[in-house]
Chain A
Amino acid sequence: MEYQNSMKISFMSKSQNEAFARVAVAAFVSQLDPTVEEISEIKTAVSEAVTNAVIHGYEDMEGEIFLSCTIKDNLVEITISDKGKGIEDVSRAREPLYTSKPELERSGMGFTVMEAFMDEVEVESVKGTGTTVIMRKRLTSI
């Protein structure tokens, strides 16, 4: 029998919630006995996606960020979405070093970090409607 579990939270688009979100996911995923490395990779990827929703999606204005995490056996799927401004050109946004906010000292490495630390990263975005990032990772544990 396949083991399944899931959780869902939503929170305001405040930079304080970046740490909250990554710690919440890490706590939920810990039931799979991940390695220190896996937990750190997941926390970093979650931090990137939530930070993007705060900075780019809502541009530091008030908004709601939705996060869900599903476990199926040793597969972890994390979905982070915002109803913010959306991305006009997703493939350009995913290029290493591309940032639309260089004046804020952003490095343009967020998506590259997510891709390196997770097995799969899907980005769905509609300009003016919002962005959803789905990330999957199969843990070596179990």
Chain B
Amino acid sequence: MNVSYFVKRENLIVRIIGEIDHHSSEMIREKIEREYVRQNVKNIIFDFSDINFMDSSGIGVIMGRYKSVRERGGKLGVYSVNPQIDRVFQLSGLYKNKIINPYSSLEEAISNI
């Protein structure tokens, strides 16, 4: 499990490599939160291209970050979600309720978020 970041305009891009479950989610949550507080950005965009597993613990991580970005008037985006994980997103209503917006690439996410 590895989390890395970079900032592009007012977005914090978070790339997670590995699996998101209850065990890994605690560290992922802490790392993202620490970086978001440190950086002067509004939005968080998740790069999901290297995540091959996610259960409902990942939904909790997303909903928690939604609370953080809202305080700064920011939004959440995600790109490169594999079909299985996409179903978990759909089921939990995260797209429908506009908690996080799905994009097909980083470029698309940055220009449309």
User: Which A residues fall within an 8 A CB radius of B?
Assistant: 15-16, 18-19, 22, 37, 40-41, 43-44, 47-48, 51, 54-55, 96, 104-107, 109-110, 112-113, 116
- For the complex, count residues of B whose C-beta is within 8 A of A: 22
Residue contact B21 to A107, C-beta cutoff 8 Å: no
Residue contact B21 to A19, C-beta cutoff 8 Å: yes
Residue contact B29 to A105, C-beta cutoff 8 Å: yes
Residue contact A15 to B23, C-beta cutoff 8 Å: yes
Chain B residue, CB-CB nearest to A15: B23
Q: Which residues of A contact B25 (CB under 8 A)?
A: 105
Residue contact A116 to B84, C-beta cutoff 8 Å: no
Binds A, one of B43-51, B85-93, B103-111: B85-93
Residue contact B60 to A105, C-beta cutoff 8 Å: yes
Residue contact A15 to B22, C-beta cutoff 8 Å: yes
Q: Which residues of A contact B23 (CB under 8 A)?
A: 15-16, 18-19
Contact A105:B61 (CB < 8 A) given known A37-B84, A40-B84, A110-B56: yes
A108 to chain B, nearest CB (A): 8
Residue contact A43 to B53, C-beta cutoff 8 Å: yes
With the chains together, A54 CA to B55 CA distance in Å? 15
Given A18-B23, A40-B84: 6 more A-B contacts, CB < 8 Å: A15-B23, A44-B55, A47-B21, A107-B92, A109-B59, A109-B91
Q: Does B19 contact A (CB under 8 A)?
A: yes
Chain A residue, CB-CB nearest to B55: A47
Residue contact A112 to B91, C-beta cutoff 8 Å: yes
Residue contact B91 to A51, C-beta cutoff 8 Å: no
The contact string, 1 if C-beta is below 8 Å from chain A, for chain B 62-95, is 0110000000000000000001100110011000
A105 to chain B, nearest CB (A): 4
**Which of B3-46 touch A at CB < 8 Å?**
19, 21-23, 25, 29
With the chains together, A48 CA to B59 CA distance in Å? 12
Q: Does B2 contact A (CB under 8 A)?
A: no
Q: Which residues of A contact B19 (CB under 8 A)?
A: 19
A66 to chain B, nearest CB (A): 19
Chain A residue, CB-CB nearest to B94: A107
Q: Which residues of B contact A48 (CB under 8 A)?
A: 55-56
With the chains together, A37 CA to B83 CA distance in Å? 9
Q: Which residues of A contact B55 (CB under 8 A)?
A: 44, 47-48, 51, 110, 113
Residue contact A44 to B84, C-beta cutoff 8 Å: yes
A123 to chain B, nearest CB (A): 16
